Chains A and B, each alone.
Chain A
Amino acid sequence: MTGEKNIFAILKTDNPFSSNAAGDPRAARYPDVPGLGDDVFHGLQTLFAQKKQHPHKPCAAAVLGEAGSGKTHLIGRLIEQSQSAAFPYCFAYILPFIDAGQGFRYLLREIINNLTHTYAMGAKHSQFDFLAGKITITLLISAANDAGSEKIRRRALKFQSAPPEILNRRFIPEVMKANMVRYGTDCLLKRNSELHPAFVNVLLQYCFDESKRIAAKQWLMGRVTDARDNRFLNVCDRSGKTPSELEQEAQEILASLDILLNLYGRPLIVFFDQLENLHNTEQIKKFQSMVFFLSDIRKAMLPVAFFRAQDWERKFKLKFDDFCSGRFKANLSDLKGCNRRQSLELIRTRLGTALDDVETSNEMYPFYPGYEDKLHKMLRAQEMHPRQVINRANSLLHEVLHQAPNVRTPEQILENALELRIEEIRINFDHYPPDEARLSLALELYLDNRPDIYPYHVTDITQSSGKAKFVFLSGNVNLPRRKAIPTGFIIDTEFHHSSVAAGIRRGIAFLENRPDAKAVYIRDGRCPFHGPPRWERINALLETFLELGGVTLFLDQEHAPVWYALTRLQFDIQAGDISAPGVGVIRLDYLKRFTASIVDGDAYPAFKALDAYLASGNK
């Protein structure tokens, strides 16, 4: 048996109770506790099977549970089960949108992003590849039948059991790819006239032409792609469309996806998590439209919303219209906590994650023997939320290990939580596609509420509303003994040259109209900014912008995660997911107060560069 000293050393460095939040449910998670949440889990599985059997039946579901009751863990279980269930299903995990005006574009983007991502460890193919593979096989068989080619037919049939594999095989010569796309488009449109022709065309290019997959994915996500990509994919330019037209198109693409999922694929379960972050009436109205669209209009899609019970009672139940609350109430379940046996099991499994390879006298070691009474006293309520159990086990473990209780200030808790999220986003950066609304939220959080100890503070931050595809924030930078400096922030994640040009022009106009003003152009580095000759005019505009005293922040893979992590942290706080013993649930006003200090420092150069620019008196 490993000595007590060694075990204590392991537990001190790898405390299995230090994390009490589930994080991203698409990533790895702690082991399940037998029986915990099973009634909700099985209830939802039955509902998904019913949706597959009766696609016409309108259906939505809601799960209530307080923060720490295991909602995100449950989503993780359902995601894991999606591929191995008796009725396999696709899934999309959606965090709340920020801009209600882009709700359906956001939904489309997130659904395609989820579908095209490979989640299982070592998996080669995404959920979308499964659908694309099935479509490819069907069309190849159909074309082979028409052409009388038994060889191609037989080869295509071989992939029936593993459809995605066909996407990587060269079935047809390069010159025939365009013909196959044309043939497939005609076939599918003949079969179902409701399909969106451009969507079918781009989808089939994804299926038959590997070189077009990246561009096709961007288009399928609803992005306003650049002119060159439009020509490459042979699609119309979206740049002239108004926001409402783009919203409409997003719904049409989702509708077409739904038809194909119903024909070839599996039901798509859309998990809406952290809905506490929907605040205003516009956001709630848009969410209701999404629920109506997914539950009643579409056949292969089923929305499952996760609410904190407190918010459901105080906000959503009152604000939702009769239709929406009725849909959710029809399949409303609540997550119950751990009974005493499950509480102990939760502790045992967590200990097991740290002491897996270590031989101990008892599975509950180091709590048994010696601390049974204390542990049982801590767990004496007959029902406890998993997070509570973990927190209490954590404090007892500190006692057992003779460690001082890990008392941290809210600032330290937030700093640690931010670091964890940055790490998580860096690992799964694709889960967080470029999003100007999230970048803008992070920036506002950083600039607003700065205590006086900082060299500058920003007041009167406002966001211009309009039809522009970029976000424009303006505010006044205040420096000691200086007149307030008007400052503009252009946050841009657009791909189309005209949108990018419009954003930079806005910055130029801002600087030209106010000689003392400052301006910052911020862009997610994943959104290409082409050099000359392709974007010659835009590069010239950027030169002008810089000459007028503006600066640029191109957020690369190292820096952009920090910005997205800030937004994610705000979402998590709003969902009540950040808490610590002795401090309780961290509130949003703490984050607002501490953002400037927790992201300050050498670790976050993008913010440091921003600080340097804003704090300098010169342009």
Chain B
Amino acid sequence: MSKGHRTTYICQVLANAFKKHTLDFMTLKQFIRFTSVSERIRLGLAKTGNIKQDDVKSALTPLPETFRCLKYKNSQYLVRNVPNSDLLVGYIQTKRSKTFGQLNQHFPLKKNELIKTVNTLLEKGIVQAKLSSTEKLILCLSAKTAKAQKPGRPVPADIPKTNAESREADKKASIIQFRQAYDAVSKGSDYVFIHHIRRNLKWRHSQFDKMLDTLMVEGYLAAHPGNPGDLAEDEVDDAYEDEFGDLYITVSWRKAV
């Protein structure tokens, strides 16, 4: 496998694993659990058995720039390479930890860094806090953020761009992911509802829109205006409106990735 192909493949495996996990971070052990035997073989790992963390790390080298590794409480973590604040917003949105104490226990960030990030989000009004009857601090997204974030996880394309080759590889991996989501919801049809793809991918709204625009400009797919009157309000919200105010309801894939 050439270096470029390997990066693309690693990116694809990671994207699949993160999609199954539905969180923006996971331990290396969890990563193994979310990979298939064939993926592990192609990565050069043992099919089954106790796989060492270091082996996993080297199998994921070069790690695509859309991800990073970090150590927290004796475990190695794979994390989407987005700012900590975005990670935290995504996590709070999942409502897996409601109080600050729970966050501190499960979110892979040192306590002082976590406090700093939470305070920034509170100041910006992205997150709001209230005291429970047991005097615990409960954190949740503000109504404004919850609407804007719907549904909200970053995509691999959202990365600092430093290396042209890996940027290209990441973009390709995102296109592959988009295509996979398209296939998953298309049921063999040539006209696929945008809201179905968006909901399948669960990317951030703005990131999905950006990728859809790229795919249209590069001719990978054609987007079709439709009649919003036939759709529910939330389906229209999850369709796509371009910068000229045209609303698109369905897309058709036109070009092989």
- The distance in angstroms between the C-alpha atoms of A66 and B246, with both chains bound, is 14
Contact of B222 among A67, A317, A337, A380 (CB under 8 A): A337
Whether A378 is near chain B, meaning CB under 8 Å from some CB there, is yes
- The distance in angstroms between the C-alpha atoms of A309 and B217, with both chains bound, is 22
Whether B59 is near chain A, meaning CB under 8 Å from some CB there, is no
- The distance in angstroms between the C-alpha atoms of A337 and B224, with both chains bound, is 9
Interface pair B227/A334, CB less than 8 Å apart: no
- The distance in angstroms between the C-alpha atoms of A217 and B104, with both chains bound, is 85
Q: Please encode chain B, from 241 to 257, with 1 for each CB lying within 8 Å of some chain A CB and 0 for all others.
A: 00011110110101000
Question: Inside 8 A of A125's CB, which chain B residues have their CB?
Answer: none
Known: A313-B191, A392-B244. A385 touches B216 (CB 8 A): no
Whether A576 is near chain B, meaning CB under 8 Å from some CB there, is yes
Contact of B229 among A68, A313, A378, A587 (CB under 8 A): A587
Known: A312-B191, A334-B190, A334-B252. A66 touches B226 (CB 8 A): yes
Interface pair A310/B216, CB less than 8 Å apart: no
Question: Inside 8 A of A313's CB, which chain B residues have their CB?
Answer: 189, 191, 193, 250
Closest Cβ of chain A to B183, distance in Å, is: 16
Of A24-32, A51-59, A503-511, A578-586, the one with at least 4 CB within 8 A of chain B: A578-586
Whether B219 is near chain A, meaning CB under 8 Å from some CB there, is yes
Whether B28 is near chain A, meaning CB under 8 Å from some CB there, is no
Contact of B219 among A308, A309, A317, A382 (CB under 8 A): A382
Question: Inside 8 A of A387's CB, which chain B residues have their CB?
Answer: 225
Closest Cβ of chain A to B1, distance in Å, is: 31
Closest residue of A by beta carbon distance from B223:
A381
Contact of B224 among A66, A582, A584 (CB under 8 A): A66
- The distance in angstroms between the C-alpha atoms of A378 and B216, with both chains bound, is 12
Interface hits, B175-214 → A, CB 8 Å: 189-191, 193
Question: Inside 8 A of A581's CB, which chain B residues have their CB?
Answer: 245
Closest Cβ of chain B to A586, distance in Å, is: 9
Interface pair A310/B230, CB less than 8 Å apart: yes
- The distance in angstroms between the C-alpha atoms of A66 and B190, with both chains bound, is 12
- The distance in angstroms between the C-alpha atoms of A421 and B149, with both chains bound, is 45
Whether B228 is near chain A, meaning CB under 8 Å from some CB there, is yes
Closest residue of B by beta carbon distance from A586:
B229
Question: Inside 8 A of B217's CB, which chain A residues have their CB?
Answer: 380-382
Known: A310-B191, A312-B191, A313-B189. A584 touches B222 (CB 8 A): no
Question: Inside 8 A of B189's CB, which chain A residues have their CB?
Answer: 313, 317
Closest Cβ of chain B to A377, distance in Å, is: 9
Interface pair B230/A309, CB less than 8 Å apart: no
Interface pair A382/B218, CB less than 8 Å apart: yes
Whether A69 is near chain B, meaning CB under 8 Å from some CB there, is yes
Q: Please encode chain A, from 367 to 406, with 1 for each CB lying within 8 Å of some chain B CB and 0 for all others.
A: 0000000000010111101011001100100000000000
Known: A314-B230, A388-B246, A588-B229. A309 touches B191 (CB 8 A): yes
Closest residue of A by beta carbon distance from B247:
A584
Whether A419 is near chain B, meaning CB under 8 Å from some CB there, is no
Q: Please encode chain A, from 64 to 75, with 1 for each CB lying within 8 Å of some chain B CB and 0 for all others.
A: 101111000000
Number of interface residues of A (CB under 8 A): 35
Closest Cβ of chain B to A43, distance in Å, is: 15
Interface hits, A56-98 → B, CB 8 Å: 64, 66-69
Interface pair A383/B230, CB less than 8 Å apart: no
Question: Inside 8 A of B252's CB, which chain A residues have their CB?
Answer: 334
Question: Inside 8 A of A388's CB, which chain B residues have their CB?
Answer: 225, 246
Closest Cβ of chain A to B175, distance in Å, is: 14
- The distance in angstroms between the C-alpha atoms of A392 and B255, with both chains bound, is 25
Question: Inside 8 A of B250's CB, which chain A residues have their CB?
Answer: 66, 309-310, 313
Closest residue of B by beta carbon distance from A311:
B230
Contact of B225 among A64, A67, A314, A582 (CB under 8 A): A67
- The distance in angstroms between the C-alpha atoms of A336 and B254, with both chains bound, is 10
Closest residue of B by beta carbon distance from A312:
B191
Question: Inside 8 A of A311's CB, which chain B residues have their CB?
Answer: 230
Interface pair B225/A385, CB less than 8 Å apart: yes
Interface pair B249/A310, CB less than 8 Å apart: yes
Question: Inside 8 A of A589's CB, which chain B residues have their CB?
Answer: 229
Interface pair B218/A308, CB less than 8 Å apart: no
Interface pair A378/B244, CB less than 8 Å apart: yes
Interface hits, A585-600 → B, CB 8 Å: 585, 587-589
Closest residue of B by beta carbon distance from A588:
B229
- The distance in angstroms between the C-alpha atoms of A380 and B225, with both chains bound, is 16
Q: Please encode chain A, from 308 to 328, with 1 for each CB lying within 8 Å of some chain B CB and 0 for all others.
A: 111111100100000000000
Closest residue of A by beta carbon distance from B187:
A313
Interface pair A582/B230, CB less than 8 Å apart: no
Closest Cβ of chain B to A66, distance in Å, is: 4
Question: Inside 8 A of B218's CB, which chain A residues have their CB?
Answer: 382
Closest residue of B by beta carbon distance from A380:
B217
Contact of B216 among A69, A309, A381, A584 (CB under 8 A): A381
Question: Inside 8 A of B247's CB, which chain A residues have their CB?
Answer: 584-585
Q: List 21 A-B contacts (CB under 8 A).
A: A64-B191, A66-B225, A66-B226, A66-B250, A308-B226, A308-B227, A310-B226, A310-B249, A312-B191, A313-B189, A337-B224, A380-B217, A381-B223, A382-B216, A382-B219, A383-B222, A385-B224, A387-B225, A395-B244, A587-B228, A589-B229
Residues on B close to A: CB < 8 A? 189-191, 193, 216-219, 222-230, 244-247, 249-250, 252, 254
Additional A-B contacts beyond A308-B226, A334-B190, A391-B246 (5; CB < 8 A): A381-B222, A383-B219, A383-B254, A385-B225, A587-B229
